[in-house]
Structures are given as C-alpha cells and as structure tokens.
Amino acid sequence: MKRIIIIVTGFLFLLSTSAQSSQTLTLDECYALAKTAYPLAKQKDLIEKSKDYNIENAKKGYLPQINFSAQATYQSDVTSIDLPASLPFTIQAPSKDQYKMYGEINQSLTDAFMIEPQRKLIKSNAEISQQQLEVELYKLKDRVNQLYFGVLLIDGQLQQVELLKKDIQTGINKITAAINNGVAYKSNKSELQAELLKVEQNSIQLKATRKAYTDMLGQFINRPLNDSTVLQTPVAVTSVATIHRPELNLFETQKKTFDIQDKLIVAKTLPRAGVFFQGGYAKPGLNMLKNEFAGYYMLGVRLGWSLSGFYTFRKDKKLLDVNRGLIDIQQEAFLFNTNFTLTQQNSEQQKYEELMKSDDEIIALRTEVKVAAQAQLENGVITSNDFLTKVNAEDQARQNLILHKIQLLMAEYNYKTTSGN
C-alpha cells in the first residue's frame, strides 16, 4: 500500500512540475505584455504626475499675491514750504533720508480669463504626450506579429518534419523487408537512413531558430520562454476597412489644443482689474508734513490694460490657422499611406487564399503518388532515390500549405494592426 502511495504521489508531482514548466500564450496576451514591459510605458505615470503638478500650480493664480518690500533712500531735495516770518508757526521740511517697509496683498479679479485656458492647455498638452506614447507603443504590435507568427511557422514546419520522418522510416522498414527477400540492395537502405539523418539535422536547425525567436519575444514581453512554451494559433479575422489608429486621436487632440491657444491669445488683450491692500511703517508716513516714523495702510482698486497684446494678435491668429493646416495635411497623408498599405495587405490575403486552394489539390495528388511509391519500393520496382523524390515532393507541398496558412493568418493580423481594429 505504501509503495502505491509513493508511486501515485510521484506521478502527481511530475504532472505538477510539467504543468508549471509549460506555459501557453495568446497573441493578445503578448500585445498586452509587450506594451507593459516596454521602457517607454513608464512615461505614462510621469506624464500624469507632471500634468497634476502643473494644474495645481496654475490654480495658485486664483490666490492673492503677497509682496514684502523695504527701502532706505537719501534724496538731494525734499518738498518744503517757505512761510512768511510774520506767521506764528512754521512747517518743518521732511528729512532727506527716508525709510519705508511695507507689505502688499493683491487679488486679481480678472485672472480667471487666463488661468482657466491655461489649465485646459496643460491637460491638452498632457493628453498629446499620452497619445504620442500610445502611437509608439502601438508600433510594438508589428514587431510582436513578426516574432509570434515566425514561431508558429516553425512549429508547423517541425510538425511536418515529424511526418516526413515517419514516411522515411516507413520506407526503411519496407526496404528492409525487400532486402530480406532479396529484391533490394543494402545501399538503398543506407540512402534512406542518410536522408533520415538529414531530416534530423533540419529539425535541429528549426528548433534553434525557434529558440532565437522565442528569446526575442520573451524580451519584448519581459517573460522567459522556453521550448515548452506553446503559442496558440489565433483565429482568422475578418478585414475591416475602417481605420481606428491612435494617430487619429493624436491629430484630434492637437487640433483641440489650437482652440485653447486661440482663447489665450484673446485673453492677453483683455484689461486687468484687481483689489489691493498695502500696510507699512515709514518715515515719513502718508502725512509728508510729519517727519517721523509712522504706520499706515491703504486699500484700493487697480485697473490696467496692456495694449502690447494687440501688436501680435493677428499674426498669432494666422499662425494658429497655419498650424491647423499642417495637422490636417499630416492627417491626410497618414490616411493616404494607411489606406495604401491596407490595399496591399488585402491583395496579399487574396493571394494566399488562392494559393491554399491549389495547395490542397497538389497535396492530394502527391499523397497518391507517395502511397503508390511505398508499394513499388517494397516490391523493388523503384529505387530508394525514386521513393525519396516522391516523399520530398509531398513534403514540399505540405510545407507550402503550412507556409501559406501562416502567411495568410499573419496578413490578416497585419491588416488588423494597420487598420487599428
């Protein structure tokens, strides 16, 4: 009983280890992992934090502005009043050395016209940065496609290699029987055995190439992959001509930024109004005729209007229109190039579909010839070299089908990636 328990436990352990050592990945998972692992992805949080800090700083514009100043001066002359000597009083002139310390609080009443567009501009610029990052990250899909479908192609070739090895081994078995019956030479068997070793070498090369592809893919998704890693073959997708690329969102966001900048240009030409309070300690104070230190305060309203904003108003407006036009041209060029690429990729899909139809017919014919050649080899009608010719012809036909299937699937997903759907 103990022996049975030990055996069962060991078996379960082996199953657990095997399950842990192998992993299955889908194309969508690789997209997501590559997007997360790519170094530029770290910019997302930094862009968001930068936006929050800038907005908080912009909000401070609503707060009153507080200034402290102090000054000591000596002036060559002061205001004085000469009174007739007959008057019973005199007015003392202030000292030529004067001192002043004061604090001032200013509260703008019109800064909202500038602050709110500035906040919107900060958000828009951050959104542009995020969209530019999305554009860069989206480009990873093309690179993942190349590696992912490259591995799938090699996997299909490896499967075909195993079938080829079985066919050759079947030929070896039949030629062995023919040799025993005295109707074939040993050299025929040696030729098949040499071909089997050649196929084994091809298998080794394919596995080495697969490892190179999986290593590169593992770097992209920041996950170690090994020989046991299984990449699931994605399902066929229907081509959709509508374009939903992140570049289009980038263009629209840039256009919105120009609208905000337009409001800022107008805001620069508006008058400014605010209230202020000033309190200080000076010699003399507000009473210039009292030549001594005294505290003082004043409360008032300020109105200002800088006309310098009108100097460049029209040119700034025209410059925005030029920039809008540049974005429209860039968007038009992007759509033209993307549609051109989609047309090419659609033609590729149609080509591979037609090739696959022929592949099926060729394989059926080559299989018939191979089966007949097996019987002929066993009866000594044909040589091992003739048999290998038939086997390799069928193998090549199946390899072509595998290649065209993966190429069609890759063309479909390249179309999907190009269109952004």
For 339-354, what is each residue's pLDDT tens digit?
999 999 999 999 999 9
Residues in the chain, pLDDT under 50: 1-21
Would you mind telling me the total number of residues written for the chain in this entry?
421
CATH class belonging to 139-261+314-419 = mainly alpha
Q: Give 105's Cβ-side CA count (13 Å radius).
A: 8
Q: pLDDT at position 72, please?
A: 92
Q: Cβ(301)–Cβ(278) under 8 Å?
A: no
Q: pLDDT at position 9, please?
A: 45
Helix H or strand E encompassing 193: helix 186-221
pTM of the model: 0.76
User: Which CA distances in Å does 152 have to 228, 235, 407?
Assistant: 13, 13, 10
With 0-12 / 13-18 / 19 or more C-beta atoms within 10 angstroms meaning exposed / middle / buried, residue 185 is: middle
Place of tokens 């290649």: 403
Domain ranges for the chain: 139-261+314-419
Q: pLDDT at position 272, please?
A: 87
Q: pLDDT at position 22, please?
A: 58
